[in-house]
Amino acid sequence: MTKALLRFELAAARNGRTAPLFAAGFALASIAIALVGLAAGGTIAVQGFARTSISLLQLVLWVVPLLALLTGAAAGAECYELEYVAALPGTRSRLVISRWAAWLIALGAALLVGLGGAGIVIAIFAGTADAWTYLGLLVVAALLLSACLSVGLALGIWARSRARALALAIVAWCVLLVGIDLAAIGLLAILPAGTATWPLSLLLLLDPLDAARALGLGLFQATAIAGPTGAALRAVMGGWGALFLVVGLVAWTVVPLRLAARTLGRRDL
């Protein structure tokens, strides 16, 4: 049943324009970043994987959550229109999970095509040194995609209407992008020096985007630019921090998904 539902949802996701546009956009942006990264030094050449990955991380942190939240929110609100499918025996919670999985596969494949295409160009022109950091970036992007899709779906199911769901998704994106950082800065200002590290580390759990940023920068050992929460995490947990962040991102996938399935199961369509 779940397989058939996933196939059904995947066909719907595949037939839309979102995934191909996302793939093309990401490929172009990645190649452009790889090319222009050295332009400041007066050179136009393809830069290597390590430098490109750091530049691309910022793009991933902005674009992936926005797209995933919007797509998830629209897919969540759409659940109320799927009366025929929802009335099939035992499908409500499976419908939510299948929608999430289908969009994760569709957008994940688009991400892979986009970043993979750019990766091939980089490998040809700049060599394969530090290619693993690029792969690491893909994993971080996939974890972030999964978490934000789940949050988007929960918001869409909670909102019911498509317009309200999309508006909520944009608000959520803004909060995740800057809201938690502002809270971290506020905490730093309020708490006595030296006592903020634990609360700041825990703040990472409240923001999948910040968690992905800290995880991504950890890949490149770029602690200096990991932000206040990322630096605090490193101080508190050392090498275990990465695992803590991965668990946090997985929780951001599982918890909203369960809430979404429960909400849809209790509501009238």
Closest approach, Cβ 17 to other proteins, in A, equals 11
- Return the number of the residue (84 or 224) whose C-beta is nearest other proteins: 84
Closest approach, Cβ 74 to other proteins, in A, equals 12
Question: Given the rule CB under 8 A, which residues bind other proteins?
Answer: 1, 3-5, 7-8, 11-12, 15, 81-91, 266, 268-269
Closest by CA to 252, choosing from 109, 144, 108, is: 144
- Return the number of the residue (43 or 84) whose C-beta is nearest other proteins: 84
Closest approach, Cβ 150 to other proteins, in A, equals 22
- Return the number of the residue (94 or 213) whose C-beta is nearest other proteins: 94
- Return the number of the residue (3 or 163) whose C-beta is nearest other proteins: 3
Closest approach, Cβ 102 to other proteins, in A, equals 12
- Return the number of the residue (8 or 198) whose C-beta is nearest other proteins: 8
Phi, psi of 221 (to 5 degrees): 55, 30
Closest approach, Cβ 155 to other proteins, in A, equals 20
